[in-house]
Amino acid sequence: MFAATFNEETEFGTYLNNLYVSSAFQRQGVAKSLLRQTIPVFKRPRKELPVHLLVFAKNTKAVAVYDQLGGIVIDKSQAVRAGNTPVELLRYQWPSAQTLFEKLDG
């Protein structure tokens, strides 16, 4: 289980990359806990900017969490990896990291 962010991407705000929870720990609040620990380390200006992430559309458990947290799907795209069937990606965004953080407690 881990979460990582990149602050350099500015088109959609701070990119929340690599939010992964092992299937053995899903539905136990681990993803929310990781977000609660990650967002406070953002520097002050970043807390006020949008935050976004990508998720496989077929990952219905994660999609349900992001919907519950008030994320808005702002983009749908197809990812194609060599020799594999294309998969649909959803880009979720929140108006600010602070907004997402507040949703974690709501």
DSSP classification of residue 100: H
29 phi-psi bin (left φ>0, alpha ψ -120 to 50, beta other): left
CATH number of the structural domain spanning residue 42: 3.40.630.30
pLDDT digits (tens, 9 = 90+) for 88-103: 999 999 999 999 999 9
| Distance between CA atoms of residues 90 and 68, nearest Å | 15
> What is the total count of domains within the chain?
1
- Of 7 and 104, more confident: 104
State which residues form the domain around 39.
2-104
Length of the chain: 106
Q: Are strands 14-20 and 51-56 parallel, antiparallel or unpaired?
A: parallel
The model's pLDDT over 5-64, given as tens digits with 9 standing for 90+, comes to 555 566 888 888 877 777 787 788 888 888 888 888 888 888 888 999 999 999 998 999
